[in-house]
Copies of this chain bind each other. A is one copy, B any other.
């Protein structure tokens, strides 16, 4: 086994231990937490904005935003009404459990019911790094194309829910929903799916109701 592979395995193993610690910390605070992942521009931040708007009267929402540069997403989440902490990964293509641990330390967890973690925009790297959150949410979008489950199987395999965003663009692009969903079904049979548009609001109710049902 090469030195590089050994180093990589040690990093992953250490990450998983820290993810378990994060989970214990979140659980002991009575928080339900989700990790939102997607390719760049699929609509993670828009989904979070809509979710915060819809739920902030019922739930106290905390946000952790990961990005390789800028605080644009945290700014949008804060403007929407959430308590937001920004993590700049400094070029890393994913969040990891250490970054989440540090972010958790800077938050007052007793003031939060729902913690939303926005991962770095990427359909590959985040799949390998558990954070300790309860559910992995994968946001797909219509203009990305219907072949994405086939091309990025790890992300689709590891999702606990798939949000299919930008359905308002269906009339203007080539997207075979049956082909797309067949790909998901093969990788992740029975995974819960939501078809919605953060732009028009269509379909957001089902997503919101599911999320509320998940929060203990």
What residues of chain A have their CB less than 8 Å away from a CB belonging to chain B? 3-4, 7, 11, 39-41, 67-70, 72, 91, 93, 120-125, 128, 141, 143-145, 147-148, 150-154, 166, 168-169, 172-174, 199
Contact = CB atoms under 8 A, between A and B. Distances in A.
Contact of A122 (B124, B166, B173): B124
Contacts of A68: 124, 151-154
A144 B39 CA distance: 9
A70 B69 CA distance: 31
Nearest to A43: B145
Contacts of A91: 124, 128, 154
A206 B216 CA distance: 56
A89 to B, nearest CB: 9
Contacts of A148: 40-41
Contacts of A154: 68, 91
B93 A122 contact: yes
Contact of A69 (B41, B120, B128, B150): B150
18 contacts: A7-B7, A39-B41, A40-B123, A40-B145, A67-B151, A68-B151, A68-B153, A68-B154, A69-B153, A91-B124, A93-B122, A93-B124, A120-B124, A121-B151, A122-B122, A124-B125, A172-B172, A173-B199
> What are the 3 closest A-B residue pairs judged by CB atoms, nearest first?
A41-B144, A143-B143, A93-B124
A152 B121 CA distance: 9
A151 B143 CA distance: 20
A124 B144 CA distance: 17
A121 B168 contact: no
